[in-house]
Amino acid sequence: MRRKLLLLVSSMAFLFAIANAQTPPIKGTVKNEKGNPVPAATIKIKGTNTGTQTDDAGNFTLTVAPGRTLSVSAVGYGTSDVKAQDNLQITLKEKSSDLTEVVVTANSIKREQRSLGYSATTIKASELTQGQSPSALTSLSGRVAGLNVTSSTGAPGGSTRVVLRGGSSITGNNQALLVVDGIPYANNDNFGGPNNLSAVNFGNRGNDLNPDDIASVTVLTGPAGAALYGSRASNGALIITTKSGSSGRKAEITFNTQNTFSSVLKIPDFQNEYGIGYYDGVNSDGTLHYNTQDWGDNFSWGAPFTGQVLPWGQTIDGKQLTKPYSALKNNVRDFFSTGFTTANNISISSGNDRSSYYLGLNSLNSNGIYPTDVDTYNRYGVRFNGKANLGNNFYSAVTFNYIHIHSNQIGGGQGGGSALINLYQTPRDIPIDKMGDLNNKYYGYGYTDNSGVYHGDKYGFYNQFAPSPWFLIKNYKNYDDVDRITGGITLGYKPVSWLDVQERVTEDYFTDRRRLLTPKYNFAPADDGTNGNPPAYSSGNIVTSNGGYEEDVYNVGEMNHDLTITAKHDLGNDFTGSLMVGNNVRLNNNNFTQTSTNQSSGLVVPDWYNFGNSNGPVLAKNTRQVQRRVAVYAGLDLSWKQMLYLGATARNDWSSTLPVNANSFFYPSVNAAWIFTELLKGSGIDNILNYGKLRANWSRVGNDAGPYLLNTTYGQTSIAGGFAGGNTIFPFNGVPGLAINNLLGDPTIKPEITTSEEIGMELGFLNNRLSFSANVYKERHKNLIVQSNVAPASGYTFATVNAGVEENKGVELSLRGTPVKTQHFGLELFATYTKNNNKIISLPNHAQIVIGGFNGMAIVAQEGKPLGEFYAVDNQTENGHTVVSSKDGMPVPTTSAVYLGSYQPKWQGSFGGTLSYNNSWSLAFLFTTKQGGVYFSQTKGISDFVGTAAETGGVRDPQIWANSVINTGTATQPVYQPNTTAKYIKQDYFTGILPAGQNIIDGSFVKLSSLELDYQLPANTLGKTPFGRASIGLYGNNLFIWTPKANKYVDPEMNSSGSGNEQGFDFVAQPSVRNYGVNVKVTF
Amino acid sequence: MQLFMTIPINIKRSALFAGLAVLLLGTGCKKFLDVNQDPNNLSNAQPAQQLPTVQAGIGVVVGDDLYPFGNIWSQYFTQSAIASQYKTIDQYLQTNNDFNYMWGHIYQTALVNDQLMIANTIGNPGLIQYQAIGYVLKAYTLQLATDAFGDVPSTEALQGSVNKNPAYDAQQIVYDSIFNYIEKAKSLMNPADPSAPGSDDLIFNGDMASWIAFANTLELRAYLRLSQVDPATAEAGVKALYATNPTFLTADAEMTYTSTGGNQNPFYIKAVSLGKAVNLAASSTVVTQFERNSDPRQWALFEKVKATDDTITDLVQGTYAQNTNKVTSKPSPLVGGDPQNAASALAPVILIGAAESKFLQAEAVARGWVTGSASSLFTAGINASFATDGIPDSAANYISNAPDAVFPASQADQIKAIITQKYYAMCGSQGFEAWTEWRRTGYPTFLVLSAANGGRGVPLRFLYPQSELTGNLKYPGTVPETTPVWWDK
């Protein structure tokens, strides 16, 4: 790796040393129709690859012989051809849509949008940074039809899942391929912690990208557009292009600062009627009798609030605290503080007609919503992009990006360090938000008494089921350090104008080092018992942990080599054609080392986090994975009269992960586009319908398996005791043990095959004032490589198999219009609609495949259902009436699990727009919605269990379940009668039998995803300042959420499994946040 | 791969494409792609590494998975009032999910590795004692499985890819196979074989004589299990066994543990990972009997709340809700039941106890199937139990004075006395076997309905795990927990 880096850096230095001018350059300015400069416009000498870009003032310099034709284009504008001369004044016509712009497609090939026979949408930087989301992936949400972005927290470093057209796999990756400047960009999901029930969200690597470095993102929704990427194209691709240098008169320096405040978006609705305690009997009048003296409990099932001032908590030094016995409505929300993030970018771009570069430096420093400075995320990055024409028909480009991240993430779920689950379990009268002083003997852990004596083994607050969240966030740490280098070198040779030979070598490498600190402690209640006998706190109510220290180190690298040869030819007057052939070699090397102190015995000395401090043998495990792939591919493009376009690709892959004698697979694609409005030119209709295109494509993409899936292997014996841990680990008293691994291999595994068909239409009306695009598609994925669960009685848990067929069928619509366009005002609106029907068509030899969940609830793939169907026991119903037991009035559970809907939304949409005034003010907004999916909420489960959730309020005395029925027949021949007698007790229901199915709720929502008000300082006020341009903006993202009445809990996008396939899984996941702030951008 | 970068550019396009393809298909490429050998795992294992895995797996099943169910349903323990982990056991409220780990440890740890170990020994005379131990452990584990769940996969189980959906066998068939495996094991066992295992045998350290005694005792246990459903087979089996002049266990067959992290008593490891919460309390069901008999074993098996206490502070079975914050006696470290006492790490997991061996023999005699002195075997059982509990010297006084130590005259009373004494002997250490014998014989007669039963019936079996329900196309349907298993008549 070090050698590769050296190579990169030295070639960079070489390339920029040789840029020298020969003939005097010409200068020019590019403006729009309003006379404003057009930055980043591309000026190219026609028929060559030579060109430059304008700076922020619209200026450029280029060495070119006078009289040659220059082609000038820019994103959002049409293309204009002019003859070269000095002091060129070029005016570009603005387009109200991007229908004919140039897009970057697979393998960094630039193509005109009109020539594509598949769906490809480009999103500009200005749209991406609208709302200033810290994640470039999150900010794609709502911008493109067919794109499903799920952002789990909205905080920097959180997880973002990007799925195009419903995904392609059951147990494998479903996320879109990310390609940054031609470099496939790793987007590993980085969940830490022991399991999904006590997860630590370290985000996903795709969010390492600095949004400010990005120039544009092209979304290739279907596999057709991405077919050249081979195996990974079955999920579609995001082609990300970062900024490049402009070659204006002077170097341009841009400084941009964003200062963002964050607060919790949505927390559960709580009841505010009952406090700590629980019922312990039924009075003679049928009402409940409450125990309110058990301060060591976490139940909020106690007596109704009275407002009386009463003692509470432990008796310490002979005294209890007192407070009014009343609800503290905001005790959970007020626990959180306002997070603050400052992101600062400085970039320099410069160049001349031979070479250009972009250098971007950025930092992001965030202190999240947990109180005190515990949840921090810091990211630093540098990006260098350079291009040079070397003369002799050679050209070159270098891209290099380094990122360092240092963070501490607060654990979630039911993990030892999860503050959140303990907050939700805080009874409604406990002032948890004000109990942060851990030295206060009533709140503290290890406190000092009146006589100055330190009680290091005593705690003053709470119990073994719910320790103080303040203590947890202070002492449990999940540090993460990431260093990532991405780089690539492109060398090209154009011996003749029609031939282009290009070699590109890229590397994406990161190391991710996590340090997980679990404190060692043992606290007994400080209660001295003077308040009663036995004491209010049982002496057995200890809070204890053996402690532990773990280091997980991931080294992940991918190298790609691509050699492509492209030949273009004009075949007669109307025909043009190009043929590209290429070769790809891809190497993946992953290493993972996990080391921890002894999991059963923990640490010897508290607070010393070192393996030398392990109480018992240190546990260490290392995993090394090597994958290699070789491919040849070809692409053919033909066009006729700028009206008919035909494209075809073919690719053959050889993969190391498939059986040696069956490791080759071939797949083709074809696409066609017809600009039918070419026929209408001059007919008058083209004044109304100025652009119309029909397109169609068919493609096939193969995908290989993961490494080492062919055989069943043995590993060191480790017997997991249960969900809570407790492992028997070998060597056992010095005796080594080997056990068969629970995954069965398949030596005959075949590649997965995706077949996709799509037809689409693009229309532009009134000179593109109104534009419309529609796609209809069908994708079939067969021979899916699945880790399917097998019957445990077979001796194994999973088997690698080719199993089943999955289908996505859908419609994608987008509409964009400019209803107002005057000298001063502009209003642009857009909307998207996506409907994807995902279905598991067949799953032979499987009852179902479990892709997630936990005890009592499974997220499964089941024949005939969409992927991600929830499967759980629920309350039995009969014609909409809940069936209850005649004995205790409680709902009767279904006899087995039932299907309760999928996490995939039935449809999603967005509505956004920009209102601009005088080119100096602009107001942009974006609403997004997903409708019809469901999610599982353990936040609901736990707050129901402890009696804090809103639905546990109201009447708690024995009552009849509303509209319930009783089975007066038999189990096999039921007869249902309305229930008029059997009464249930809420506490018994919520703490005893609430089935998991009741925690699966409507996940629909509407969000105000982003809102931004920008003011661009007029050029004349900047005249005497050093600034070229200056703007100030107020923004917000993830600002508001509207959910159906059934969802009184959390943001349904939150997820305890990050960006994996286990979605809609709120196992007390970290809350999502709303962000708002101010940014200032100036250029020098 | 250097070749790709130096391809001349002047050749014709079609030729280039073909050329590339040819290059790639060459042998260099084949070698380049041949990197799919897993460097992280082994493709084979030796019996010496598999045997300890199987034994540790059985230790987890008996010492952890079955521990709370067996000891709570035998009413040695009940859910403590200051925690809640095992409430549902006292509530007789089972779900399929409660048994995923237990089933997994039986099939995916113990049985499958046992199966693979046996397969590894086929055709290798030097490994024949491993094979023998493999068969007897298979019989032992299958009996656990079928006693717990009733009908279970056996003939079609453990075949991996060959059969991912094994069918369930009737319990009678499973018992037939248990006897077959024991016979097979015994036919192979040879104490003189120099290639017997050594320290990799975590139970007997390679002592094949002990394994023969283990196999005989297991066979006796298994035949006696059929005493109610098929007394003729049981009697014939026991008689045939005795015709071989069998040796029986005279010491506890057990897994032993140390304080080393990951090598401790499995229930203790679990309790530590649950935050050392005290979940188990002495049940008044057993404590009342201990007191009635002035049985000193109660002091070995339970801890006093205060040093000055002269009684074990117990809870009536299932009354945790009515005794909020009541501090009760915990099971002692002797049986691994006190998570706050590190000595619990050292508690052994008893697979077949020495006392159990004596009581099984006593029952065989008392039933008149074989000759011998039931009374002296009964007394020997009590002595063995006191020895296991670390108080061998107190046995004599107990045998002279305790009402339940009197060996009665009638056959029915003798069997009741034997099983009841076996029940005392298994307190905290063999709860599952005690509950199973209660299901078979109805003894002891003093078990009560848990106060937390909520109208649900007493469980007589475990539910099949959720993992089978969702993973096995031949899943036979969930059998209610109140349905007795086949031998439970």
Each residue of B78-107: b (16+ CB within 10 Å) or e?
Answer: bbbbbbebbbebbbbbbbbbbbbbbbbbbb
- B480 close contact with A: CB closer than 8 A: no
Give residue A1052's pLDDT: 93
Please answer yes or no on whether A563 and B266 come within 8 Å at the CB atom: no
Q: What share of chain B is helix, strand, coil (3-state, %, to 5)?
A: 55, 5, 40
Residue A168 confidence class, pLDDT cut points 50, 70, 90: confident
Nearest CA-CA partner of B129 in B246, B211, B59, B57: B211
- Cis before B392? omega within 30: no
pLDDT over 80 (residue A100):
no
pLDDT over 60 (residue B418):
yes
pTM: 0.88
- Phi, psi (deg, nearest 5) at residue B277: -65, 140
- B478 close contact with A: CB closer than 8 A: yes
Do the Cβ atoms of B192 and B243 come closer than 8 Å? no
Neighbours of A617 (CB within 10 A): 17
Residue B389 confidence class, pLDDT cut points 50, 70, 90: very high
Give residue A528's pLDDT: 64
The predicted model gives A95-119 an average pLDDT of: 70
Residue A249 confidence class, pLDDT cut points 50, 70, 90: low
Strand partners, A795: none
Longest CA pairwise span in chain A (Å) = 104
Nearest CA-CA partner of A811 in A761, A753, A878: A761
Residue A275 confidence class, pLDDT cut points 50, 70, 90: very high
Residue A1069 DSSP class: P
Q: Alpha-carbon distance A142 to A346, whole Å?
A: 28
% of chain B residues with pLDDT over 70: 94
pLDDT over 80 (residue B198):
yes
CA atoms within 13 A on the CB side of A980: 2
Please answer yes or no on whether B261 and A728 come within 8 Å at the CB atom: no
- Distance separating the N- and C-terminal Cα atoms of chain B: 74
Please answer yes or no on whether B467 and A545 come within 8 Å at the CB atom: no
pLDDT digits (tens, 9 = 90+) for A530-547: 555 455 566 677 888 999
Each residue of A951-977: b (16+ CB within 10 Å) or e?
Answer: ebbeebebeebeebbbbeeeeeeeeee
Please answer yes or no on whether A793 and B276 come within 8 Å at the CB atom: no
Q: How far is A818 from chain B (nearest CA, A)?
A: 47
Residue B324 confidence class, pLDDT cut points 50, 70, 90: confident
pLDDT over 60 (residue A63):
yes
CA atoms within 13 A on the CB side of A106: 29
Residues of A in contact with B64 (CB under 8 A): 721-722, 726
Give residue A4's pLDDT: 46
pLDDT digits (tens, 9 = 90+) for A290-348: 987 777 788 999 999 999 999 888 888 888 899 999 999 999 999 999 999 999 999 99
% of chain A residues with pLDDT over 90: 58
Tokens of A986: 């809420």
- A394 close contact with B: CB closer than 8 A: no
Give residue A530's pLDDT: 56
- B52 close contact with A: CB closer than 8 A: yes
pLDDT digits (tens, 9 = 90+) for A368-382: 999 999 999 999 999
The predicted model gives A174-202 an average pLDDT of: 82
pLDDT digits (tens, 9 = 90+) for B176-194: 999 999 999 999 999 999 9
Helix (H, G, I), strand (E, B) or coil at A27: strand
Give residue A247's pLDDT: 62
Q: Alpha-carbon distance A627 to A815, whole Å?
A: 43
- B170 close contact with A: CB closer than 8 A: no
Tokens of B390: 């670390």
The predicted model gives A498-514 an average pLDDT of: 95
Residue A255 confidence class, pLDDT cut points 50, 70, 90: very high
Please answer yes or no on whether B260 and A792 come within 8 Å at the CB atom: no
Nearest to B20 among A280, A583, A733 (CB): A583
Q: Alpha-carbon distance A874 to A1083, whole Å?
A: 60
The predicted model gives B314-343 an average pLDDT of: 91
Longest CA pairwise span in chain B (Å) = 108
Residues of A in contact with B39 (CB under 8 A): 624, 626
Residues of A in contact with B116 (CB under 8 A): 740
Q: Alpha-carbon distance A307 to A292, whole Å?
A: 14
pLDDT digits (tens, 9 = 90+) for A905-946: 999 999 999 999 988 899 999 999 999 999 999 999 999 999
pLDDT digits (tens, 9 = 90+) for A598-629: 988 899 999 999 999 999 999 999 999 999 99
DSSP H or E stretch at residue A1083: strand A1073-1083
Alpha-carbon A411 to chain mean position: 18
Give residue B17's pLDDT: 45
Q: Which residues are CB-neighbours of A275 under 8 A, at least 6 positions away?
A: A292, A300, A302, A303, A305, A325, A326, A327, A427, A428, A429
Q: How far is A660 from chain B (nearest CA, A)?
A: 7
Higher pLDDT, residue B369 or A220: B369
Q: How far is B453 from chain A (nearest CA, A)?
A: 12
- ipTM value > 0.90: yes
Please answer yes or no on whether A630 and B49 come within 8 Å at the CB atom: no
% of chain A residues with pLDDT over 70: 94
Give residue B468's pLDDT: 93
- Of A422-436, A681-695, A705-719, the one with minimum mean pLDDT is A681-695
- A722 close contact with B: CB closer than 8 A: yes
Nearest to B327 among A540, A713, A735 (CB): A540
Tokens of A492: 């090209």
pLDDT digits (tens, 9 = 90+) for A895-906: 888 999 999 999
Best of B16, B20, B483 to mutate (most A CBs within 10 Å, chain A)? B20
Give residue B3's pLDDT: 35
- Work out the mean pLDDT of chain B and round it to a whole number: 92
- A546 close contact with B: CB closer than 8 A: yes
- Distance separating the N- and C-terminal Cα atoms of chain A: 37
Nearest to A728 among B5, B60, B277 (CB): B60
Residues of A in contact with B321 (CB under 8 A): 280
- A524 close contact with B: CB closer than 8 A: no
